[in-house]
């Protein structure tokens, strides 16, 4: 498919190309740029209709944005910058090296420059850092007709016009009104009579994940952001909230797999950076796992007498790890989605205890049959293995559900308490349980 475009460029069929590009969505054009050899990019970019150009620019990778900016004339750069929404401009600036940022700032108009600086000053991951100040504000004493006049006059370069925010003289947030309500109301209706008072809002310092969850929970298209004096300073729109929620899920998944999260997609991360994401937990868990080895060393004599015991170690360790991982991951995700709260701790433990016993007994029964029929071990050995299974699964599920809750309670990240971490603890525990039961039953 990319080859078609290359052919068109090589044959200088620019009118045809323009026609094709004008039918495409910006994000699809950006994806095409991603697949295209770099040298074709500036040319193809200049074929885009001016309005589309900025939208495509926003969707490109930072590397490509940088390359394009470096190639832009000052006029071209200014044209793109004038079309950008504030929050997109901030996103781009955050990714650019200092000299490019300097050039960008130089070519933005003073008002935009001021807003960019303001947003860059909010802490990373706060509502302030992802909001935009391009929203429609109305006054309480306006009529619906006044409101529409204002929307028509100022709406063109606002990211969303569908929720309008009502503020007083000091910019204090008084309420909100949707364009739907405005459209369904009489022209001479006063805004304060139709606006929703006491709207849900977030603070500039609210964590962006909480902002995204609020937007999703209330099914809003945008949520207002106020400062400590309750002045309306910006809004966060639903499209950004979706991105935050997806990033959050990815981060959780990475942490659960013992990876240090990164914001860059896999294919855009270098080998060395990927190594840096993966090696810390591998090292920590490797060192921890050596304690498990110590336990085996400690029971060397018992193992020497009943070598057959060794053959069940991997099965016991894996089953324990899997059982604990199931519980911990369920709890971690529940905490993330706010379906679970620390005050549910006893309900959860009681549930996990019963599930653990059911799982443990099922596994032990299945294993007993296999041990007797397939492996043909003695009933005593089978008994040792199967009662270890029940105890290990019980312990694993208990640890698996309580550790993430405890982490949450003391302000740690519960996602770290997932399978790899649990596995390491459960491995050691399962061996201790195993050898103790073996010693007791087999009198060693």
Q: Considering only residues 420 through 439, tell me which ones interact with a copy of itself, judged by CB under 8 A.
A: 420, 423-424, 427, 431
- Residue list 153-172, contact with a copy of itself (CB under 8 A): 155-156, 161-162
107 vs 402, beta carbon nearer a copy of itself: 402
- Closest by CA to 204, choosing from 122, 136, 132, is 122
- Residue list 15-74, contact with a copy of itself (CB under 8 A): 23, 25, 27
Choices 62-70, 108-116, 201-209, 253-261 (CB under 8 A): range interacting with a copy of itself: 253-261
| 148 lies in the site for a copy of itself, by CB under 8 A | yes
What is the Cα–Cα distance from 364 to 290, expressed in whole angstroms?
27
Minimum distance, C-beta of residue 434 to a copy of itself, in the bound complex (Å): 12
User: What are the Cα distances from residue 35, in Å, to 111, 183, 406?
Assistant: 36, 44, 46
- Residue list 382-411, contact with a copy of itself (CB under 8 A): 393
| 198 lies in the site for a copy of itself, by CB under 8 A | yes
What is the Cα–Cα distance from 304 to 442, expressed in whole angstroms?
13
| 256 lies in the site for a copy of itself, by CB under 8 A | yes
- Residue list 211-230, contact with a copy of itself (CB under 8 A): 216-219, 221
210 vs 254, beta carbon nearer a copy of itself: 254
| 319 lies in the site for a copy of itself, by CB under 8 A | yes
What is the Cα–Cα distance from 90 to 126, expressed in whole angstroms?
14
What is the Cα–Cα distance from 139 to 227, expressed in whole angstroms?
19
115 vs 327, beta carbon nearer a copy of itself: 327
Q: Residue 130: CB partners within 8 Å, gap ≥ 6?
A: 87, 208, 211, 236, 240, 244
Which of 98, 307, 373, 410: binder of a copy of itself (CB under 8 A)?
A: 307
| 363 lies in the site for a copy of itself, by CB under 8 A | yes
Minimum distance, C-beta of residue 75 to a copy of itself, in the bound complex (Å): 26
What is the Cα–Cα distance from 274 to 378, expressed in whole angstroms?
49
315 vs 442, beta carbon nearer a copy of itself: 315
Which of 206, 367, 392, 402: binder of a copy of itself (CB under 8 A)?
A: 367
What x/- string results for residues 75 through 114 when contact with a copy of itself is judged by CB under 8 A?
----------------------------------------
Burial of 261 (0-12, 13-18, 19+ CB in 10 A): middle
- Order of strands across the sheet with 232-237? 202-203, 222-226, 232-237
- Under 8 Å between Cβ of 107 and 77: yes
What is the Cα–Cα distance from 87 to 391, expressed in whole angstroms?
54
| Residues near a copy of itself (CB under 8 A), total | 110
Q: Residue 11: CB partners within 8 Å, gap ≥ 6?
A: none
| 147 lies in the site for a copy of itself, by CB under 8 A | no
Which of 207, 227, 344, 413: binder of a copy of itself (CB under 8 A)?
A: 344
Tokens of 106: 């130089």
77 vs 356, beta carbon nearer a copy of itself: 356
């Amino acid at each position: 498919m990319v080859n078609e475009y290359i052919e068109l460029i090589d044959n200088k069929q620019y009118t045809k190309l323009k026609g094709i590009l004008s039918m495409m969505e910006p994000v699809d054009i950006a994806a095409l740029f991603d697949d295209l050899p770099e040298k074709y990019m500036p040319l193809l970019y200049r074929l885009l209709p001016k309005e589309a150009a900025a939208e495509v620019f926003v969707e490109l990778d930072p590397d490509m944005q940088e390359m394009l900016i470096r190639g832009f004339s000052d006029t071209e750069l200014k044209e793109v910058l004038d079309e950008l929404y504030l929050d997109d401009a901030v996103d781009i600036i955050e990714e650019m090296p200092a000299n490019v940022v300097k050039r960008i700032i130089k070519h933005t108009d003073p008002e935009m420059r001021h807003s960019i600086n303001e947003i860059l000053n909010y802490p990373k991951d706060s509502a302030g850092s992802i909001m935009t100040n391009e929203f429609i504000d109305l006054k309480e004493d306006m009529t619906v007709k006044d409101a529409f006049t204002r929307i028509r006059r100022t709406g063109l370069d606002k990211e969303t016009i569908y929720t309008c925010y009502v503020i007083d003289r000091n910019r204090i947030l008084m309420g909100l009104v949707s364009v739907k309500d405005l459209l369904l109301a009489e022209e001479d209706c006063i805004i304060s009579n139709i606006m929703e008072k006491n709207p849900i809002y977030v603070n500039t310092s609210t964590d962006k994940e909480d902002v995204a969850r609020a937007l999703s929970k209330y099914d809003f298209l945008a949520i207002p952001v106020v400062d400590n004096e309750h002045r309306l300073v910006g809004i966060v729109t639903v499209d950004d909230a979706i991105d935050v929620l997806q990033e959050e899920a990815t981060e959780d998944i990475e942490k659960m797999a013992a990876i240090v999260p990164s914001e860059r997609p896999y294919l855009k991360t270098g080998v060395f950076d990927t190594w840096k994401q993966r090696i810390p937990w591998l090292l920590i868990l490797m060192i921890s796992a050596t304690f498990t080895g110590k336990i085996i060393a400690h029971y060397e004599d018992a193992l020497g007498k009943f070598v057959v015991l060794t053959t069940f170690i991997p099965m016991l360790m894996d089953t324990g790890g899997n059982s604990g991982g199931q519980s911990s991951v369920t709890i971690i995700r529940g905490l993330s989605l706010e379906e679970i709260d620390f005050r549910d701790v006893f309900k959860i433990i009681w549930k996990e205890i019963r599930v653990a016993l059911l799982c443990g007994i099922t596994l032990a029964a299945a294993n007993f049959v296999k041990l007797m029929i397939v492996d043909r071990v003695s009933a005593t050995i089978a008994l040792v293995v199967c009662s270890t299974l029940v105890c290990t699964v019980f312990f694993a599920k208990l640890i698996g559900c309580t550790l993430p809750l405890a982490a949450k309670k003391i302000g740690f990240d519960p996602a770290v308490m997932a399978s790899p971490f649990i596995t390491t603890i459960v491995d050691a525990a399962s061996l201790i349980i195993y050898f103790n039961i073996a010693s007791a039953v087999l009198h060693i």
